[in-house]
Structure 1
Amino acid sequence: MKNLFRTIALTLCLCFIFQSEAVAQDYKSAVGLRLGYPWAASYKTFISESNAIEVYASYRGFTGWSWIGLNGAYQIHNDLGSTEGLQWYYGGGAGIQFWSAGDVDLSGTFFNISGYLGLQYTFADTPISLTADWVPTFFIGDGFGGFGGFGGGYGNLGVRYVLSGNGKK
């Protein structure tokens, strides 16, 4: 539990340190897919020049086990170098997963706290935004066998269609 609180404290400190940097987003809102671990339908909207909220519904299935989940994240974007449309972002979020193990008739509900670290590129002349991120996650719950704890293998490649904003600064 101490490591969890340290991670949260470090994330909050980084948010405040980098918050003063001014950048302009390439769009207002976009919808698309997160392809990876887990698969998800995503909606992202900027609430200020550099701050965005992303919500997504996810699914992950593998032999005998599956889950569906709902997640939300607060992300802070910063321009990366002189390449127009390229940004890096970080943030934090929370969610809930509903697990099922059909082979042994077990199920469980887990809450999660996640960190986000990624890259985003928005095309200048096309309403498409691409992302790649790492989402380290801490699961809290007492489902089948007491599973819970840290998972560092979560992340996605994402593609979104820009709904508002023309893809240009």
Structure 2
Amino acid sequence: MRLKLTLTIAFVSLTSALFAQSTYKQAIGARVSPASSYDVFAASYKVFAVGNGAFEFNLGIGGDRYHHHEHRYRSTAVSASAAYQHHFDIKPVPGLKWFVGGGVTILHTSSKFDDYKGVSVGLFPTGGADYKFPKIPLNVSADWRPTFLVARTDQYGRFIGDGFGVSARYTF
């Protein structure tokens, strides 16, 4: 009986400590990355799994303009990404955190030309800042995701360094 009580108290204490470190548990909204060619706009979902560790999932759309034999064309890209982020408090400001982590992205590009269509896969480190407003259910963040493509179409180089983005999410 003592063992059950001790384990129950330990479990409740651990669970409370793990989830008490974030000012929100989940958030859903949008991420905008205007300079990016493959995820200019993305739906964003973020969930804190354990303590200060969160997973962020994005479904994005983007595109690029290019020239081919003196004609202008456009390619369209659809992407999905998942990232792990570990958050650290910035003490003077409640609700403000910085984070580092990494993730993977998969994108499909469509175009009139074979060189510009197909599937690409990339890995990225990520870092940024995250703020949860104290009196309203809103979270905003800014991040950088320089992406290294391990499989790619000819449209993309091996490195995409323009992955700066900002997000706004409803928290719950």
Q: Determine which of 131, 148, 168 is the counterpart of 1:159.
A: 168
Cα distance in structure 2, aligned partners of 1:117 and 1:41: 19
TM-fit CA distance, 1:95: 1.6
RMSD (Å), alpha carbons: 1.6
Partner of residue 139, structure 1 = 149
Q: Does the CA contact (< 8 Å) of 1:140 and 1:148 recur in 2? A: no
TM-fit CA distance, 1:136: 0.8
TM-fit CA distance, 1:101: 2.2
Change in Cα spacing, 1:150 to 1:142, as seen in structure 2 (3 Å) is closer
1:82 is the counterpart of 2:82: no
Q: Which amino acid aligns with 1:27?
A: Y
1:101 is the counterpart of 2:103: no
Look at both structures and tell me which one has the larger radius of gyration over its CA atoms.
2
- Stretches of structure 2 lacking an aligned partner (at least 5 in a row): 1-19, 66-73
% identity of equivalent residues: 32
- Stretches of structure 1 lacking an aligned partner (at least 5 in a row): 1-22, 164-169
Matches within 5 A, 1:55-66: 55-63=57-65, 64-66=74-76
Runs of 4+ in 1 over 3 A off after TM superposition: none
Q: Deviations over 1:76-132 (max 9, x none)?
A: 000013100100001000020001223x35411100101111001100010000000
Partner of residue 25, structure 1 = 22
Cα distance in structure 1, aligned partners of 2:22 and 2:64: 37
TM-fit CA distance, 1:142: 4.2
Cα distance in structure 1, aligned partners of 2:153 and 2:166: 29
Q: Which amino acid aligns with 1:28?
A: K
Partner of residue 51, structure 1 = 53
Partner of residue 125, structure 1 = 135
Q: Does the CA contact (< 8 Å) of 2:152 and 2:158 recur in 1? A: no
Which one scores higher on RCO, CA 8 angstroms, separation ≥ 6?
1
User: So what's the TM-score if we normalise by structure 2?
Assistant: 0.76
**How many residue pairs align between the two structures?**
139
